[in-house]
Amino acid sequence: MSITSALVLYAVIWFMTFFVALPIRIQTQGDLGNVEPGTHAGAPEHHHLKTKAKITTVVALVLWAIIAGIIISGVINVRDFDWMDRMGPAG
C-alpha cells in the first residue's frame, strides 16, 4: 500500500466514523425548549463537534490500523472479491 492509498483509506474511514458520530448526544433546540424564531426545532443547540472530532480521530486510527494491517498482510486481496472470475488466474 502506497502512502497516498493509506491517506485516502484513513480519510474515508475518518469521515464515515464522523458521520456516524454526529447524531450521538446531540441536543436540539426543540429538546431544550428554546427554539429561535426562523429556525427549525431540530437545529442543534449543543453539538460537541470538537469532542466528536477528537474521538473520531482516535477511533478512525484504530480502525485504519486494523484494516491497513489486513490489506498489507495479504489476508484479503482484490482477487477475493472476484466472484465472477473476470480477473483470470494469478500470474
Chain centre distance of CA 37 = 34
The torsion angles phi and psi of 46, rounded to 5 degrees, stand at -125, 110
Question: What pTM, to 2 d.p., does this model score?
Answer: 0.78
Domain residue spans of the chain: 3-81
Task: Give CA–CA dist 33/88, Å, rounded.
Answer: 62
Condensed to tens digits (0 to 9), the pLDDT of residues 3-48 reads 999 999 999 999 999 999 999 988 888 888 888 888 888 888 888 8
Nearest Cα neighbor of 18 from 55, 46, 44, 56 is: 56
Helix and strand totals (H; E) in the chain: 3, 2
Question: Which pLDDT belongs to residue 54?
Answer: 97
pLDDT band of residue 91 (cuts 50, 70, 90) is: low
Phi, psi angle pair for 27, to nearest 5°: -115, 115
